[in-house]
Structure formats: structure tokens, C-alpha cells
């Protein structure tokens, strides 16, 4: 293996000022200007560097990036089921049991923990103006507004969170995935999981990494957050499911990997509209057919289930494409030289015509005709 150095052979000067030129330096027939002379340097260091780069490139493409595989992106569906019951006792509501029907809001796909209530019915701002001017008091009149009353007051957020025990609630995540290009499908409730195990397991990254039941407090804790603090103003959490599968191996090796993170920005420097909240109402009619409603402003934690992944399987086409790209990267001329100089029957004839070998590269003084220096590396000068 050789390293190719290309450049011009230049004249030099000895300490006495005499000009020196390399023996065998190529000049034009008239003795004028020199032209570039390719040089092949036999260097163990250069051989090591080039071999390392080639080996690294092959390893990166074929081992790490699996360049021999065809890939496909995951198609997924997710359903969830939350379980948990808690008791509250306040001066406004008295003793009350809260179950899934109360604190899980399907349209929002969230779990709510802090509630504020407003109710009754009247004609007070904010609302729709009727165009009528009505007495506000004995001396002032005002525009009549068709609206709910009393007006909502949301300046005071209850602390601590209303449903503090909700961190012990659990959520069952059922995830089905499909790779259409390979017609491969699977779900996160693995074939090795039976109904007995499913009733008793809780996800733990060390002891139960494939259990699909998660404790809400553990999800928030795994993301580096405090559940009770986050529940006061709300927030958005992500439960991420990663399906990276090598389909050249058995299907049992294709398993989900769970991770957790907080999605909304928790920044003390930005305090405008922090957290997560929404409103919903429940409507009633009394015996006098008067309509009223209970308005709930809920501060809660929204759980987004995010599924992503990639599957790969051996295919001839990407294998050949990457092999061709690798050969092009190494250089077509290098490959041709290897074939001509080492593989063909007339390799010695081609080598004799292509190279002129010299043991030493001596620099000779023009004026004195004596040796000034020697280049210690063995060199081969390429003929044009």
C-alpha cells in the first residue's frame, strides 16, 4: 500500500549559495521550466491513516447505520385507560368521591387535578349586549348583557392541588404498531405477558420494563419534575414509546422502549400563562325550568402518548448501492491500479512501464556536482 503525494520538484540552495536540483528532475526539452512530478511514497504511517479511514467508513455504513437494510417508518394507534379513586372534603362541596368519570376529560386527553367552580344564570357582563339600557342602581343606567353570572374569578389558583392523591392513579397504555412495507405488526402487551401479571405489574425501568401500566407520579418523577408542584398550574407530559426493530432477527427482539419528558416550557423568566388549563361546563334545569350551569376551570396534567420508530430488513438494492458508494469513495483509480498491478497476468510488465524505482533520492549541486542531502524514504517516480 502506498500514499500518493503530488507536487513540483523544486531547486534549492546549499549553504554556500549553490543551486541544487533533484537528480532526475524533469524539464522541458529546451531546458526551461519544470512541470509537476507525481511521487508515490511508501509510508507505513500513511498506510495506517488511509486504512483506518476506509475501515471506519465501512463500519459506519454497514454496521452502525445498517446500510444493507431497507427501512420503514412505524404506523401506530394508542388507547388508554385510567384507574383511581380519591376523596375530597371542602366547605363548598362537602365530602365527595372523585373517580375516572370526574377527572378524566376525553376531549382533552388529560388528567385534571385542580378545579374551580362558578355557576348560576343572569344577565351580566361578559356576554352579548341586548341593546337595552337598564338601571344599574338608583342613579346609573347601563347596557344590558345576556351572560352567565356570577362572573368568573380565576385570579386565585388553589394551593395545594385539589386532587393530591391522583399521583397514585395508574394508566394502562395499549399501543399497536405496524410496518406496512414488511407487513409486520405487534403491540406493547407482549405475548409473554399474561392476565395475572397485567393485574399486578407497575412499570419500572429495571424490574418491569415491558409492563404497560404506569403510575402517574412515577411518570412525572422520571421526567425530573415534582408532581405536586406541576399539578397546581398544570403542564404537558410526554410518554414516548420507541419501536426500533431489526427484522433480520427474531420478532421477539422487537420490543418497546419507554421514556418520559415534560413538553411545555417551565421557565421562571416567562411567567405569562404558565402550565395547562381548560374550561368545561355541566348544565342543569330546576323545577321552574330555569337553566343553570356549573363551570369548571381545570388545571391539570395533559399526557401525550408519542410513538416513533424505524424497522430495517436486509435487501439487495440498498446493499449494492452502498457498496458502490463505498468503492467510489475509495477512488476508482486506486481500484484500477490494484487490479492492473496485482491481479492481471501482465502485472510485472505494467508495473515496469508505469514506475521507475530508485533506492535514494539524491540532491546534487549544479556547480560542484557533489551530494548535498539524501531523502531517507524510498521513493518511486511515476512516468508520464
Among 314, 335, 367, the domain boundary falls at: 314
What is the chain's alpha carbon radius of gyration, rounded to the nearest angstrom?
40
Predicted pLDDT at 106: 66
294/284 Cα distance (integer angstroms): 8
Cell 427484522 identifies what position?
Answer: 247
139 and 239 in a single domain? The answer is yes
| pLDDT tens, residue by residue, 328-369 | 766 656 667 777 777 878 777 777 766 655 544 444 444 444
Backbone angles phi, psi at 45, to 5 degrees: -65, -45
Confirm or deny that 83 is annotated as ligand binding.
yes
Among 271, 294, 314, the domain boundary falls at: 314
Helix count and strand count (H, E) for the chain: 8, 23
The number of angstroms, rounded, from the C-alpha of 149 to the middle of its chain's C-alpha atoms is: 48
Among 295, 314, 333, the domain boundary falls at: 314
| pLDDT tens, residue by residue, 207-238 | 999 999 999 999 999 999 999 888 888 899 99
Confirm or deny that 141 is annotated as ligand binding.
no
100 and 242 in a single domain? The answer is yes
Average of pLDDT values for 90-110? 74
62 and 165 in a single domain? The answer is no
Average pLDDT of the chain is 75
Residues contacting 71, CB < 8 A, separation 6+: 310, 311, 312
Confirm or deny that 285 is annotated as ligand binding.
no
The string over 150-169, giving b where at least 16 C-beta atoms fall within 10 Å of a residue's C-beta and e elsewhere, is eeeeeeeeeeebbbeebbeb
Please report, for the domain that includes residue 167, its CATH number.
2.60.490.10
109 and 60 in a single domain? The answer is no
Average of pLDDT values for 321-330? 72
| pLDDT tens, residue by residue, 176-208 | 999 999 999 999 999 999 999 999 999 999 999
pTM: 0.66
Asked if 170 and 82 count as a contact pair (C-beta separation under 8 A), the reply is yes
242 and 255 in a single domain? The answer is yes
Q: What percent of the chain clears pLDDT 70, i.e. is strictly above it?
A: 67
Instruction: List beta partners, residue 78.
Output: 175
162 and 272 in a single domain? The answer is yes
61 and 127 in a single domain? The answer is no
192/201 Cα distance (integer angstroms): 13
Range of the domain at 292: 73-314
81 and 146 in a single domain? The answer is yes
36 and 153 in a single domain? The answer is no
Confirm or deny that 297 is annotated as ligand binding.
yes
| pLDDT tens, residue by residue, 116-150 | 333 333 334 467 888 889 888 888 888 888 888 77
233 and 96 in a single domain? The answer is yes
263 and 293 in a single domain? The answer is yes
Confirm or deny that 279 is annotated as ligand binding.
yes
Helical segments of 117-253, H only: 195-200, 216-222, 227-233
7/314 Cα distance (integer angstroms): 45
Confirm or deny that 282 is annotated as ligand binding.
no
Predicted pLDDT at 338: 73
Confirm or deny that 71 is annotated as ligand binding.
no
Could you tell me which of 49, 167, 186, 180 has the C-alpha nearest to residue 111? Answer: 167
Confirm or deny that 82 is annotated as ligand binding.
yes
Asked if 309 and 177 count as a contact pair (C-beta separation under 8 A), the reply is yes
310 and 321 in a single domain? The answer is no
Q: What total number of domains does the chain contain?
A: 2
Amino acid at each position: 500500500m502506498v500514499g500518493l503525494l503530488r507536487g513540483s520538484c523544486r531547486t534549492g540552495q546549499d549553504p554556500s549559495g549553490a543551486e541544487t536540483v533533484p537528480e532526475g528532475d524533469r524539464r522541458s526539452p529546451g531546458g526551461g521550466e519544470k512541470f509537476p512530478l507525481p511521487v508515490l511514497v511508501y509510508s507505513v504511517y500513511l498506510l495506517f491513516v488511509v486504512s483506518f479511514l476506509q475501515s471506519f467508513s465501512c463500519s459506519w455504513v454497514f454496521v452502525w447505520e445498517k446500510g444493507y437494510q431497507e427501512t420503514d417508518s412505524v404506523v401506530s394507534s394508542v388507547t388508554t385507560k385510567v384507574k383511581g379513586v380519591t376523596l375530597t372534603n371542602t366547605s363548598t362541596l362537602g365530602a365527595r368521591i372523585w373517580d375516572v368519570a370526574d377527572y378524566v376529560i376525553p376531549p382533552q386527553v388529560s388528567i385534571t387535578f385542580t378545579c374551580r367552580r362558578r355557576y348560576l344564570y343572569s344577565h351580566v357582563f361578559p356576554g352579548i349586549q341586548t341593546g337595552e339600557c337598564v338601571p344599574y342602581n338608583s342613579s346609573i343606567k347601563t347596557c344590558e348583557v345576556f351572560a352567565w353570572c356570577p362572573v368568573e374569578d380565576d385570579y386565585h389558583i388553589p394551593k395545594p392541588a385539589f386532587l393530591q392523591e391522583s399521583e397514585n392513579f395508574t394508566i394502562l397504555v395499549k399501543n399497536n404498531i405496524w410496518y406496512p412495507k414488511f407487513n409486520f405488526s405487534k403491540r406493547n402487551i407482549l405475548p409473554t405477558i399474561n392476565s395475572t401479571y397485567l393485574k399486578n405489574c407497575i412499570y419500572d425501568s429495571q424490574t418491569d420494563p415491558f409492563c404497560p401500566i404506569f403510575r402517574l407520579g412515577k411518570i412525572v418523577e422520571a421526567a425530573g419534575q415534582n408532581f405536586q408542584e406541576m399539578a397546581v398550574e398544570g403542564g404537558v407530559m410526554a410518554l414516548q414509546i420507541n419501536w426500533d426493530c431489526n427484522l433480520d432477527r427474531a420478532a421477539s427482539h422487537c420490543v418497546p422502549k419507554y421514556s418520559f419528558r415534560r413538553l411545555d416550557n417551565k421557565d421562571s423568566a416567562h411567567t405569562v400563562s404558565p402550565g395547562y388549563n381548560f374550561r368545561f361546563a355541566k348544565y342543569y334545569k330546576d323545577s321552574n325550568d330555569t337553566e343553570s350551569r356549573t363551570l369548571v376551570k381545570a388545571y391539570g396534567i395533559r399526557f401525550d402518548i408519542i410513538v416513533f420508530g424505524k424497522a430495517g430488513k436486509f435487501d439487495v438494492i440498498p446493499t449494492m448501492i452502498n457498496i458502490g458508494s463505498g468503492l467510489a469513495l475509495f477512488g476508482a483509480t486506486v481500484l484500477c491500479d490494484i487490479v492492473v498491478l496485482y491481479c492481471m497476468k501482465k502485472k510485472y510488465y505494467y508495473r515496469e512501464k508505469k514506475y521507475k524505482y530508485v533506492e535514494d533520492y539524491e540532491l546534487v549541486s549544479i556547480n560542484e556536482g557533489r551530494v548535498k542531502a539524501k531523502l531517507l524514504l524510498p521513493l518511486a517516480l511515476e512516468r508520464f
